[in-house]
Structure 1
Amino acid sequence: MSTREARPGSTGGEDTPGPLYGGPDDDYTPEQLAAMSRIELDRLGARYDGVEILHVDPGPEPGSVMEKRAIRQVGLIWSLAGLFAFLFIVVYVGSGWFLPDWQWSITEGGWSALFTPLLGLFMGLSLTLVGVGLVLFTKKLLPHETAVQDKHDGSHFDRVTAGATLVGGYHNSGLGRRKLITRSLALMGGGVGLMLIMPLGGLLKNPNKGDPLGTTAWADGVRLVRNDGTPIRPGDQEPGSLETVFPAVPGGNRQADAATMLIRLRPAQLATLQPREGHGDFAYGEYVAYSKICTHAGCPVSLYEQETSRILCPCHQSQFDVTQGAKPVFGPAARALPQLPLGVDDEGFFIARSDYIEAVGPTYWNRERI
C-alpha cells in the first residue's frame, strides 16, 4: 500500500506532489478521474467503498405506461397537497389580507363556527397528502437498490466519487425529465411552506397597533342604541332604572368591550353625585353611563341596587357606587368602572361624545390604576 493512499484524516495524497490520489487498490490521477463519466465514478466509488450490491430494481421504463400512470398519481396528490395548503392560508387570512372585501363574522353558527375545524382539516389533508405522495414517488418511480456498505473516511477520491453518487441520485429520481412531478412538487412546497409559516405572522405583528386594548367602538357622535338597534332619548327610562346600550355601529351589540350601562339617577342620587376628577361633564342631566365590564376579572356587571346606588358584579361580589364615579366600594375590584361621556344629537337621541378615556375591563401591566 502506498504511503500516499487514503487513510483516516488524510488528504489522499492531494497535498503531496505526484500522481497518486488515494485509491485503496489502484491509484488514479486527477486527469483519470475527470475523464470518467458520472456512472463510472459512482460505480468506482462504490467498489472502493466496499459496497456489496444485493439487489437492483431499475424502476419503470422511461415513457412507459406504468411510469406515466405513476407520474399522474404523484402529481395529482402533490397538487392536491398544495391546494389544501393554500385553502388553509385563505381561511387563516380571512381577515382581509388577500380578500379585502371578505372577512369572518364571528357568530354562534354559520361558517365562522367552522373556522378552527377548517384550519385543522386543510392542514391535516395537506400534510397527509405530502406523505402519501412521497411514499408513492419512492415506491413507483425511484430505482430500488439493496446494498451493504462499510463506513469509510474520506479523501479526495472519496469526495469525487461521493459527489457523483449524489448527482446520480438526482438523475435516477427522474425529476429533470418528469415535469409534472417537478411542477406539482413546487406547488406543494410553496403551499405547505406558506401554510407552516403563516401562523408565525401573529408573532410579527404589533399586538398594540391601534391600541386595541385601550379603545372600543365608541366615538364622538356615535348613538347609544338598545340591543335591538333602537336609539334612546332622555326621558325614555324611569328614574332609578338601568339599561344596557351599545354603539350604533355594525355589530356593535356583539362587541363585548363596548357594552355600557345607561343609568337614570333618582333626584336623591343626583343630589349626592360626586364625579371623579376629569369626569365632571360626563353625565347628561340625570343620566350617567358606565362600562358593563368589571375591572377585576372582566365579568358583566349589571345587578343594580338603586336604593344603595351600587352596581354589583355577580362573579366575585365587587360593588361600585354610581354616585361616586362608579368607584369600587367593596370586593376585589381596585379600579372604577370607566365612564362614557354623554351628549344628545340634533334629533334628541343620546350620543357618546368620545370613546372611554381609559381602557375597559381588567388592568394590564402598562396601565395605571385610576
Structure 2
Amino acid sequence: MVQKDGEKAAGSDVATTTPRDVSIGTAVVPSGAFENPGLLPHRPRATDLDPKTEKTAERRVGGLFLFSVVASLFAVVAYVIFPIVPGDMDSVRLNNLFLGVGISLALLAIGLGSIYWAKNLMKGGEWTEPRHPTRGREETRAAAVEVFKLGNEESGFGRRTLIRNSLIGALVVSPLPAVVMFRDLAPAADPVALLRTTLWDKNVRLTRDPSGTPIKASDVTIGSVFHVIPENLEDAEHKLEEKAKAAVLLMRLKPEDLHISPERSDWNYQGIVAYSKICTHVGCPVALAEQHTHHLLCPCHQSQFDISHEAKVIFGPAKRALPQLPITVDSQGYLVARSDFHEPVGPSFWERS
C-alpha cells in the first residue's frame, strides 16, 4: 500500500511525502518504515559486482588525491623558483602561470576524486528520508547516531584507508601555496621603519615624473602642479616601491596665502611647497588639485587637504595631514630637498602601530 501525502506511517510519529505517478519498482527502502512508494529499482554498478573493479576504482581515487598533493607542492616550488622581479613583466607572467596551474590542478584533482568516489564506491540506491519534528524522541536521536555510523560504513571512509589518507593529505597540503604566498607578503624589515625613510635626502633634486627632468624654481608658476620624484630614483634597488613612498606633489602659491607654523618657515621656497602624494587614509594617490581653493583631493574616498594650511585634512576619512617635504634651491636654481620627510608617509595606521 502506498501512503498518501501527509499520512503517518504505522507505528511512526512522523509524516512522509511520496512521489506521484511513479511506477512501482524494487528499490531498497528503510525496513519497517513504510512500503515502497514508487521508487525505481536500483541498478547495480560494476564496482558493486566485481571486487577487482572496486579495488581499481579505489586506487584511482587515491591516485587523484595524491596527484593533488604533488600539484600543491609544485605550486609552492614554482613560486620560489620563478620569483617576481620588480619591473620584469616576463617574471610576473611565469610566476602567475606556474602558480595558477599548480593550484588549479590541486583543487581539480580533489574535486574529481571526490566525485569519482561518490559515483563508484559509495553505496548507491534510492532512499526516502521521512520528515520529522525539530526534536525527536530519544529513540529518534539514537537512530540519527546510527545514520551517521551507517553513512560512514556506506561511504567506506573508515575502512578505505588509501582513499581516506590520500584525501586527508590532499586537503592538508592544498592550503600550502596560499600560506607561502601570504607569508611572502610580510616585509622582511619593520614596516614602520621602512615608511619612515624614503629616497629624499639633503640636496636631492626634485625631478618631473616620469621624465626625471630637474625642476628649477622659475619653472613653477602660481597655480601649477608638478608630479615629482627624487633624482636618485634610478639608482634604487626597488624602484617601484621607492617611488611609491617618495612620490610628491609640487605647487606654488602666493607667499601671503601660506599659513605655516614657525618651525616650517624655511620648508618652502618663495611660496613653492611639496607634499607627499600618498593619502594618509589608505595610501591612494592624491592627484587632483583645485587651483582657486588650494585644495588637494584624493579620488578614492574623497579626503581633502588644504595646501595653504600645511595640507591639513578638511574633509573625508583621512586623520592626519599629508607629510611635507622641506625644500630649497641649489646654486643653479634647481629645487632640492632639505631632508627626508619628518614623519612616515602613507596611511596613518603605520604611525600608530
How does the TM-score come out when normalised to structure 1?
Answer: 0.49
Equivalent residue for 2:110, pick from 130, 145, 155: 130
Equivalent residue for 2:228, pick from 245, 259, 270: 245
Change in Cα spacing, 1:183 to 1:351, as seen in structure 2 (3 Å) is farther
Q: What is the CA–CA distance in structure 1 between the aligned matches of 2:257 and 2:293, rounded to whole Å?
A: 10
Q: Quick one: which amino acid aligns to residue 341 of structure 1?
A: P
Map of 2:248 onto structure 1: 260
Q: What is the CA–CA distance in structure 1 between the aligned matches of 2:346 and 2:178, rounded to whole Å?
A: 34
The aligned runs of 1:96-135 (5 Å cut-off) are 98-99=80-81, 102-103=83-84, 123=103, 125-133=105-113
Equivalent residue for 1:231, pick from 202, 210, 213: 213
User: 5+ unaligned residues in a row in structure 2: which ranges?
Assistant: 1-43, 126-141, 143-152
Q: What is the CA–CA distance in structure 2 between the aligned matches of 1:57 and 1:273, rounded to whole Å?
A: 87
Contact 1:78 1:133 in 2 (8 A): yes
Contact 2:273 2:327 in 1 (8 A): yes
Q: Quick one: which amino acid aligns to residue 247 of structure 2?
A: A
Q: What is the CA–CA distance in structure 2 between the aligned matches of 1:57 and 1:191, rounded to whole Å?
A: 32
- Fraction of identical pairs, as percent: 29
How far residue 277 of structure 1 moved from its aligned partner, in angstroms, is: 4.9
Q: Quick one: which amino acid aligns to residue 64 of structure 2?
A: I
SS of alignment partner, residue 323 of structure 2:
coil
The aligned runs of 1:179-218 (5 Å cut-off) are 188=170, 191-192=173-174, 194-195=176-177, 198=180, 201=183, 209-211=190-192, 214-215=195-196, 217-218=198-199
How far residue 334 of structure 1 moved from its aligned partner, in angstroms, is: 6.3
Map of 1:34 onto structure 2: none
Contact 2:305 2:322 in 1 (8 A): no
Q: Quick one: which amino acid aligns to residue 320 of structure 1?
A: D
User: 5+ unaligned residues in a row in structure 1: which ranges?
Assistant: 1-54, 147-152, 154-165, 176-180
SS of alignment partner, residue 174 of structure 2:
helix
How far residue 254 of structure 1 moved from its aligned partner, in angstroms, is: 9.2
Equivalent residue for 2:71, pick from 84, 97, 102: 84
CA RMSD of aligned residues (A): 5.7
Which protein shows a greater Rg?
A: 1
Q: What is the CA–CA distance in structure 2 between the aligned matches of 1:214 and 1:277, rounded to whole Å?
A: 26
How far residue 366 of structure 1 moved from its aligned partner, in angstroms, is: 6.1
Map of 1:318 onto structure 2: 304
Equivalent residue for 1:292, pick from 263, 274, 277: 277
Change in Cα spacing, 1:259 to 1:288, as seen in structure 2 (3 Å) is same
How far residue 238 of structure 1 moved from its aligned partner, in angstroms, is: 3.5
Alignment length, in residue pairs?
Answer: 273
Q: Quick one: which amino acid aligns to residue 82 of structure 1?
A: V
Q: What is the CA–CA distance in structure 2 between the aligned matches of 1:196 and 1:314, rounded to whole Å?
A: 33
How far residue 59 of structure 1 moved from its aligned partner, in angstroms, is: 5.9
Q: What is the CA–CA distance in structure 2 between the aligned matches of 1:253 and 1:207, rounded to whole Å?
A: 14
SS of alignment partner, residue 324 of structure 2:
coil
How far residue 294 of structure 1 moved from its aligned partner, in angstroms, is: 4.8
Contact 2:319 2:348 in 1 (8 A): no
Q: What is the CA–CA distance in structure 2 between the aligned matches of 1:317 and 1:84, rounded to whole Å?
A: 46
Q: What is the CA–CA distance in structure 1 between the aligned matches of 2:310 and 2:201, rounded to whole Å?
A: 21
Equivalent residue for 2:324, pick from 327, 339, 342: 339
How far residue 340 of structure 1 moved from its aligned partner, in angstroms, is: 1.0
Map of 1:219 onto structure 2: 200
How far residue 231 of structure 1 moved from its aligned partner, in angstroms, is: 3.2
How far residue 291 of structure 1 moved from its aligned partner, in angstroms, is: 2.0
Q: What is the CA–CA distance in structure 2 between the aligned matches of 1:296 and 1:137, rounded to whole Å?
A: 51
How far residue 341 of structure 1 moved from its aligned partner, in angstroms, is: 2.3
CA-to-aligned-CA distance 1:150-181 (integer Å, 9 cap, x gap): xxx9xxxxxxxxxxxx9xx9997585xxxxx9
How far residue 325 of structure 1 moved from its aligned partner, in angstroms, is: 2.9
Q: Quick one: which amino acid aligns to residue 226 of structure 2?
A: E
CA-to-aligned-CA distance 1:35-68 (integer Å, 9 cap, x gap): xxxxxxxxxxxxxxxxxxxx9969655xxxx699
Point out the structure with the larger helix share.
2
How far residue 354 of structure 1 moved from its aligned partner, in angstroms, is: 4.2
Q: What is the CA–CA distance in structure 2 between the aligned matches of 1:171 and 1:325, rounded to whole Å?
A: 70
The aligned runs of 1:147-162 (5 Å cut-off) are none
How far residue 229 of structure 1 moved from its aligned partner, in angstroms, is: 3.4
How does the TM-score come out when normalised to structure 2?
Answer: 0.51
Map of 1:33 onto structure 2: none
Change in Cα spacing, 1:213 to 1:121, as seen in structure 2 (3 Å) is same
Contact 2:296 2:307 in 1 (8 A): no
How far residue 251 of structure 1 moved from its aligned partner, in angstroms, is: 4.0
Q: What is the CA–CA distance in structure 1 between the aligned matches of 2:210 and 2:182, rounded to whole Å?
A: 39
Q: Quick one: which amino acid aligns to residue 310 of structure 1?
A: H
How far residue 243 of structure 1 moved from its aligned partner, in angstroms, is: 0.6
- Is 2:285 the partner of 1:282? no
